[in-house]
Structure 1
Amino acid sequence: MKHAILFVFSTFFSLQAVAEGLPEGALEDPTAIGPYDAVEANLSDFLWLKRPVVVFADTPADPRFKRQIELLEARPQALIDREVVILVDTDPKTPSDIRTKLRPRGFMMVLIGKDGEVELRKPSPWDIREITRAIDKMPLRLQELKEMRAAQDAELND
């Protein structure tokens, strides 16, 4: 009974954290890509685990922001396959740590590698195809693909 109560409480608080915008689910669930509120996020939490795509705007009503979110939500499986998490920040009046670090001016889409380095900054919306091509050219992604192919070849040979 004690374990059941602990499970219920831990599940409730995990779901509540995600509902409030905390990116906890982004770390635990490989299919959880967001978008999550960047105010509650810390880029170091994603180091070597996920590739954050951070979308900045001065307001959620910015047409470029809306378009970027539409584009990101159009093909979630492509982002899941590349271990992407989407973070959003639309409030420059209360700057998040991520906003302070990346210093966007108005709308900006930033792609960060698993190593924590900024790989791409764009002042206009990018579609999934462009983002996935940029990710697929990253050295760490190339290594991941090579390892996946080797594992598949090993399975076929067994």
Structure 2
Amino acid sequence: MILRLLLIALVLAAPAPAQTPGAPDAPELSDLLWTARPLVIFADSDRDPRYIQQMRAIEGGMGELTEREVVVLTDTEPEAEGPLRRDLRPRGFGVVLIDIDGKVALRRPAPMQVREITALIDRMPSRRDETGSRRP
């Protein structure tokens, strides 16, 4: 069974402590290799307007992301120096998409719409193999 895990800090209501990558139930990137496409959202705080905007977009398009085996991971605590920050070395806000083979497919310093993310995934060779599409 494919690992499906959603680690989203819901910031629409009163911000709760974000689940950090160092938490016991948070997966390492190596745990997701060949099973999921991590979408990692970094921010220096869960109150960052770009983080809030990105999480709202993800919440609205989670069905499309789940269909593409996307696992959303967040890190809003730079002082914790968690494994995601050590591996990916973000600066402030950032969106990082990692393909199923573990290669970084996208780094963006600004929020993205889910349709942009899914369009990128759909053009990846790994996704075309999954869907049987021969279209480049």
TM over 0.5: yes
Q: How does 1:1-80 map to 2 (within 5 A)?
A: 27=3, 30=4, 32-35=5-8, 37-39=20-22, 40-80=26-66
Shift of 1:118: 0.4
| Mapping of residues 69-148 of structure 1, within 5 Å | 69-146=55-132
Root-mean-square deviation over aligned CA pairs: 1.6
Larger gyration radius, structure 1 or structure 2: 1
The DSSP-based 3-state class of the residue aligned with 1:61 is coil
DSSP 3-state at the match of 1:93: helix
Q: Which runs of 5+ in 2 are unaligned?
A: 9-18
1:7 is aligned to: none
Separation of aligned partners in 1, 2:35 and 2:104? 15
- Return the structure number with greater helix share: 1
Of structures 1 and 2, the one scoring higher in RCO (CA 8 A, sep 6+) is 2
The letter of the residue matching 1:86 is: V
TM-score (normalised: structure 1): 0.71
Give the conservation status (yes or no) of the 8 Å contact 1:33–1:80: no
What SS class does the counterpart of residue 87 from structure 1 fall into? Answer: strand
User: Partners of 1:73 and 1:93 in 2: how far apart?
Assistant: 26
1:69 Cα deviation (Å)? Answer: 0.4
Contact 1:33 1:79 in 2 (8 A): no
